[in-house]
């Protein structure tokens, strides 16, 4: 029996190494024309290494999210997104590279996401095939594949956010290390500010009693000095980043709370922002865009295509219907995950624009880590024929979209 267990562990370890590497390679070669030129955060990170945060000269016209203020030009990306690009910018400052290495960053982020998905799934007593299929479904059966391989600043920020969320979840739920969990959480909300709303959920999960597997009963929340210590450790890095972000905002726009988005020239005149950047008026329209907006037929090849601005994630990733399966190994964890998905989704729907050129609904990438937890919680040990069908259809749809968006002239038509 010991030999069988050892062989299983060896196979599991090899998969955890092989699949992230293979995923990185596939993502790297998924787009022959990556959008490296949308390098907002890379430019600002380089500027920061040289001692500034703004530019005296106007940036290229395609970088319309640089905004003017008192004689300088500033990016509207948050500080965390800029800091995430410091390692890449350092390579430029030292002369190793000349442009933003978008495909390389996209590939590394994909590998990190894949690895963390495997690590989280390890906490569950599931068949190895189930863990592999669920992980690959997230990597190649969702709109993340097409959108992350665009490799522009917006998409890379979403990739960094996903890595941060998965790391925060892993070091909160599976392998409790509060300080590391907080650092990952800072990476997440530093790139996508709305993720800050999930802090109470992670704090609740941090405060629960420890358990080896979610199939076992979880003890009641821990109270007292140890809970306070864990929460304090979790908050250290996020608080430092939060305060630094407020200072960064003030350095740009003389306001701690101004991120600059509404300052983009002409943005408030765009028809989808007729109630401002964020408004409850947009919820129904954005819900339709994300959940129900179907692909369309054309008279010419390739005939059946998704809209280039948004489309139903349920149609493009039908395995997501498995989210509505009942049951859970840890009911409180599943409920917390659903709350996170709902909170993030409502905030995303309050944004007037679904996010520009994209496949599916790229903003929803920030909810995928919690989606993964829900799927794990309700999954049987083995994959059923119906699930194989749903996973297969999801892969085909997203492989097709990746080809359509990245290898054809579809977006230019």
* pLDDT for res 269: 85
Decide: 202 and 326 in contact? Cβ < 8 Å.
no
Q: Is 326 helix (H, G, I), strand (E, B) or coil?
A: coil
Q: DSSP labels for 357-383?
A: S-SS-GGGGGGHHHHHHHHHHH--SS-
* Cβ atoms 150, 359 nearer than 8 A: no
Mean pLDDT of 243-257: 95
pLDDT at 411: 77
What value does the mean pLDDT take over residues 200-220? 65
pLDDT in tens, 230-249: 999 999 999 999 999 999 99
Distance CA 337, CA 196 (A): 15
What is the predicted pLDDT for the residue at 300? 86
The whole-angstrom separation of Cα 79 and Cα 84 is 9
CA distances (Å), 186 to each of 149, 152, 193, 355, in order? 23, 21, 10, 23
Share of the chain above pLDDT 90, in %: 79
Q: What pLDDT score was predicted for residue 1? A: 39
Number of domains in the chain: 1
Report whether pLDDT(354) > 80. yes
Q: Residue 226: its pLDDT value, please? A: 58
Which whole number is the average pLDDT over 168-185? Answer: 95
Report, as an integer, the average pLDDT of 59-76: 94
Query: What average pLDDT does the chain have?
Result: 91
pLDDT at 10: 58
Q: How confident is the model at residue 212 (pLDDT cuts 50, 70, 90)?
A: very low
pLDDT band at 163 (very low <50, low <70, confident <90, very high): very high
Please say if the pLDDT value at position 390 is more than 70.
yes
Once rounded to an integer, what is the mean pLDDT over residues 59-87?
95
Q: Is the pLDDT of residue 3 over 90?
A: no
159 or 274, greater pLDDT: 159
Question: What mean pLDDT do residues 208-217 have?
Answer: 49
Q: Which domain holds residue 62?
A: 2-412
| pLDDT per residue as tens digits for the range 302-341 | 889 999 999 999 999 999 999 999 999 999 999 999 999 9
Confidence band, pLDDT 50/70/90 cuts, at residue 211: very low
Q: How confident is the model at residue 220 (pLDDT cuts 50, 70, 90)?
A: very low
Listed residue (211, 205, 15) closest to 118, CA to CA: 15
Q: What is the pLDDT of residue 13?
A: 76
Q: What is the CA radius of gyration of the chain?
A: 21
Q: For residue 45, how many other CB atoms are within 10 A of its CB?
A: 26
Q: Are 282 and 349 in contact (CB under 8 A)?
A: yes
Residue 245 in tokens = 């972000």
d(CA 292, CA 314): 8
Q: Which pTM does this prediction carry? A: 0.93
């Amino acid at each position: 029996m010991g030999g069988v267990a050892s062989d299983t562990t060896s196979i599991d370890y090899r998969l955890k190494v092989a699949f992230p590497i293979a995923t990185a390679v596939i993502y790297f070669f998924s787009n022959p024309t990556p959008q490296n030129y949308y390098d907002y955060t890379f430019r600002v990170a380089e500027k920061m290494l040289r001692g500034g945060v703004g530019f005296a000269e106007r940036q290229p016209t395609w970088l319309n999210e640089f905004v003017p203020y008192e004689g300088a030009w500033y990016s509207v990306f948050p500080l965390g997104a800029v800091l995430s690009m410091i390692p890449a910018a350092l390579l430029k400052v030292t002369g190793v590279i000349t442009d933003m290495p978008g495909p390389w960053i996209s590939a590394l982020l994909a590998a990190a996401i894949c690895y963390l998905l495997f690590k989280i799934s390890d906490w569950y007593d599931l068949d190895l095939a189930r863990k592999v299929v669920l992980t690959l479904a997230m990597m190649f059966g969702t709109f993340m594949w097409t959108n992350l391989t665009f490799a522009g600043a917006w998409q890379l920020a979403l990739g960094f956010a996903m890595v941060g969320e998965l790391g925060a979840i892993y070091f909160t739920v599976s392998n409790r290390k509060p300080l590391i969990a907080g650092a990952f959480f800072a990476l997440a909300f530093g790139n996508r500010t709305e993720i800050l709303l999930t802090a109470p959920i992670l704090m609740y999960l941090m405060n629960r009693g420890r358990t080896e597997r979610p199939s076992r009963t979880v003890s009641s929340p821990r109270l007292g000095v140890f809970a306070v210590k864990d929460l304090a450790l979790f908050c250290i890095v996020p608080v430092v980043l939060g305060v630094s972000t407020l200072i960064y905002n003030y350095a740009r726009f003389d306001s701690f709370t101004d991120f600059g988005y509404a300052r983009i020239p002409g943005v408030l005149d765009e028809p989808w922002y007729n109630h401002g950047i964020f408004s409850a008026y947009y919820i129904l329209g954005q819900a339709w865009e994300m959940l129900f907006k179907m692909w369309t037929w054309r008279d010419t090849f390739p005939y059946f295509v998704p809209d280039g601005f948004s489309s139903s994630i349920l149609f493009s990733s039908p395995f997501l219907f498995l989210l509505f399966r009942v049951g859970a190994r840890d009911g409180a964890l599943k409920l917390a995950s659903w709350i996170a998905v709902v909170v993030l989704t409502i905030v995303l729907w309050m944004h007037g624009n679904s996010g520009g050129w994209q496949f599916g609904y790229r903003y929803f990438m920030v909810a995928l880590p919690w989606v993964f937890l829900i799927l794990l919680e309700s999954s049987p040990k083995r994959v059923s024929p119906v699930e194989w069908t749903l996973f297969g259809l999801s892969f085909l749809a997203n492989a097709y979209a990746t080809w359509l968006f990245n290898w054809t002239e579809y977006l230019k038509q």
